[in-house]
Amino acid sequence: MTTFLLIHGGWHGGWAFRAVAIHLQKAGHEVYRPTLAGVAERAWEARLGINIQTHVDELKALVDWEDLDDIVLVAHSYGGFVATALADAIPERFRAIVYLDSFVAEDGDTPFRLVPRPESLVVDTAGDDGLTMKLRPGDAMSRDIDHGRRVAGYQIVHPVGTMMQRIRLSGRYKEIPKKAYILAVGGDGNSQEPHFQRYHQAATQHPEWDAYTLSGGHNLMLDDPVGVAAILRRYSDDNDESIADDV
């Protein structure tokens, strides 16, 4: 049995990894998919002071209180900032870190620095409370129509403070033995979010990284949970690479 810690991206929540978690649990693994402060079912917590470090601290507390070890850490999108900072703080707790169409931040980065047209993101999505950003009009959380209908009645927000804090890294996260990047690509083989291509390209050229592609939109855990789970199982105790030969 392997322990997986799945970190969602912006405007999402632990719910986004539900299908992936089901596949991993059926294979006998332990899975944690927490919702970070200020989003999804925890949106009511949105307040001044929620930033990247808030999310890192609560995940570190989860790891400590649950006494987790030898973890496969998985990060989607914005979650790459949180996961990298968490791994940098306690690298000895992780056997692998997998970035799923995610940012791979460096010391001093902020999400606003790396997101294309950050000023548009603020103007277009500012919440009435001044503390959150709404999901941008027209942004789809999944290609699945039924899922889109299910979330249509919710006001989907994300704490703005998380986008402005500079991440501080010592580089200790690089001690984690296994590192991987999964890039979402369309039918033409091109990235759905071109600014993530550089991370995947860097992974293909680094001897300590594995690099994969999966067909689907940016939210691969919703569009292809089977494919995502198959790749993640490569870093588990069962470590049967044949289960992911089709990805």
pLDDT, mean over the chain: 86
Give me the CATH number covering residue 56. Answer: 3.40.50.1820
Please give the share of the chain, as a percent, with pLDDT higher than 90: 60
Has residue 90 been placed in a domain? yes
Q: pLDDT, tens digit, for every residue of 60-110?
A: 999 999 999 999 999 999 999 999 999 999 999 999 999 999 999 999 998
Closest CA to 247 of 8, 2, 23: 23
Number of domains observed in the structure of the chain: 1
The owner of tokens 């997998």 is: 98
Helix (H) or strand (E) holding 220: helix 220-223
Whether pLDDT at 242 is above 50: no
Has residue 33 been placed in a domain? yes
Has residue 124 been placed in a domain? no
Has residue 157 been placed in a domain? no
| Burial of 246 per CB tally in 10 Å (0-12, 13-18, 19+) | exposed
Q: Which tokens belong to 179?
A: 């590192």
Has residue 14 been placed in a domain? yes
| pLDDT attached to residue 46 | 80
Q: Which residues contact 114 (CB under 8 A, 6 or more apart)?
A: 103, 105, 195
Q: What is the pTM of this model?
A: 0.88
Has residue 198 been placed in a domain? yes
**Measured distance CA(43)–CA(154) in Å, rounded:** 10
**Measured distance CA(224)–CA(216) in Å, rounded:** 7
Has residue 139 been placed in a domain? no
| pLDDT attached to residue 121 | 59
Neighbours of 217 (CB within 10 A): 19
Neighbours of 72 (CB within 10 A): 26
Q: pLDDT, tens digit, for every residue of 6-61?
A: 999 988 899 999 999 999 999 999 999 999 998 888 888 887 789 999 999 999 99
| pLDDT attached to residue 151 | 59
SS3 93: helix
Give me the mean pLDDT over the 111-117 stretch.
Answer: 76
Q: How far apart are the first and last CA of the chain?
A: 23
What region does 96 belong to: left with phi over 0, alpha with psi -120 to 50, or beta? beta
| pLDDT attached to residue 125 | 57
| pLDDT attached to residue 2 | 97
Has residue 7 been placed in a domain? yes
Task: Tell me which residue range forms the domain holding 97.
Answer: 3-38+50-108+169-234
SS3 75: strand
Whether pLDDT at 143 is above 80: no
